[in-house]
Amino acid sequence: NQNKKLTLINKNDIIPIIPSPYQISKNDGNVTLGENLMIHHQSGLKNEASLLAEHLSNLMGKKPMLMESEVSGPNIIFLKTGKVEVNGVSKEAYTLEIHPDKGVIITGSDPAGVFYGTQSLIALVPVELFSSVNSSIELEALKISDAPAFGYRGMHFDVGRNFQTKETVMKFLDVMAYYKLYKFHFHITEDEGWRLEIEELPELTQIGAFRGHTLDDSEYLAPAYGSGAFPDPDISYGSGFYTRQDFIEILQYSAERHIEVIPEVNMPGHARAAIKAMEYRYRKLMEQGKKEEAEKYLLSDPDDQSEYSSAQLYDDNIVCVCKDAPYIFYETVVDDIIEIYEEAGLTLRTLHTGGDEVPLGSWEKSPICKDLLEKNPEISNFRNLQAYFFGRVTEILEERNLTIAGWEEIAMTFFEDGTWEANPEFAGK
């Protein structure tokens, strides 16, 4: 009965932009973008102008001419920066004016604001025009003033469990940009897959990036999420990884669209792919008689008889946090990721540490961990070894001037009675 009362909203009452701009005012008349359309831009906005030109070339079959100048007028889109403040916000703010005499003028408080203005302009194009090549585009005359309502606007993308190609990731980034999202939490390590090439540790992708039928995970990981019996990226979404060059291209593609990539290196839980890869490395080097080198990155404790079951029913996916190898491993991986960012001409600012779903029972029958607790009674119980781990990881990341992200558990303290509370050691961090 309620559904019968529903009526369609008048098309003219719908704002065609998501998220809704802070302020939009419609004016009389229309503006036509037609043949010989030009994009003029101030110095420093060539990237934003070029991306807009690519969009328009798909719509019009011809790329608009770009020119660094401060000219506006009919059949011209002019991109510039200036003082813009909307609802008390000046960062990433913009105004978009579509005027019969002035043409299209986008003014941003910074290049990101200009970019978001171009995304709003694209959103104003009638959707039916995207299915064909058009000689011209007609837009309503209006003015939009907008700025972000939220300081963190992000998406989380898990390629550990189901791998996605570089091209799919880039498509995803385009959609993020369209909706003015700018934090890309890139979930590249998991129990079921390690997806980034690390130069120092090729086994991470050699073993940890492939899933197929196996009885012992000695050559690749077991199937998961219906990924099938064959470790072939062409037929299975369980297998695949990004080369350094792939990742550099993803980073640069993101940066052009004002998106920050926050990679996730998940430990001490959700680490089965890394654990199995490093066990393979251990066996290989032990066969060569290289004991010290073999143990350097071994993430597990061979003598650990602990019994646990993770949220995904694994009993072998928790790193032994009581030995030095995981911290050497972590430093090696993080330093390599930092180098990849530098090769891309960017700076890694934030690293997501994962840290969730460490099951009860972890470490309780590890001789190494029992010894650590005896020597450090302030840790108080096995459950708080997770906080101990993140204390050490925090030092590693702070030395590299990185902001630390993670799932909720990383900042919690666990008590014997089963209760939790926020760990005061992490306050302000």
Q: Which positions are annotated as active-site residues?
A: 357
Report residue 301 CA to chain centroid gap: 31
C-beta separation of 100 from 31 below 8 A: yes
Q: Which residues are CB-neighbours of 376 under 8 A, at least 6 positions away?
A: 388
CA distance 15 to 96: 14
**What secondary structure does DSSP assign to 349-416, as a single string?**
-EEE-------TTTTTT-HHHHHHHHH-GGG-SGGGHHHHHHHHHHHHHHHTTPEEE--GGGGEEE-T
Beta-bridge partner residues of 32:
138
Exposed, middle or buried by CB within 10 Å (0-12, 13-18, 19+), for 46?
middle
Helix axes 46-60, 111-124, angle to 10 degrees: 10
**What secondary structure does DSSP assign to 8-30, as a single string?**
PPPGGGS--SSSPPSEEEEEEEE
Reading the block at residue 69, the tokens are 């100048």
Reading the block at residue 119, the tokens are 């995304």
Sequence letter at residue 15: I
Residues in the chain: 429
Q: 405-418 burial by CB neighbour count: b if 16+ within 10 A, else e?
A: bbbebbbbbbeeee
Run of H or E residues at 60: helix 46-60
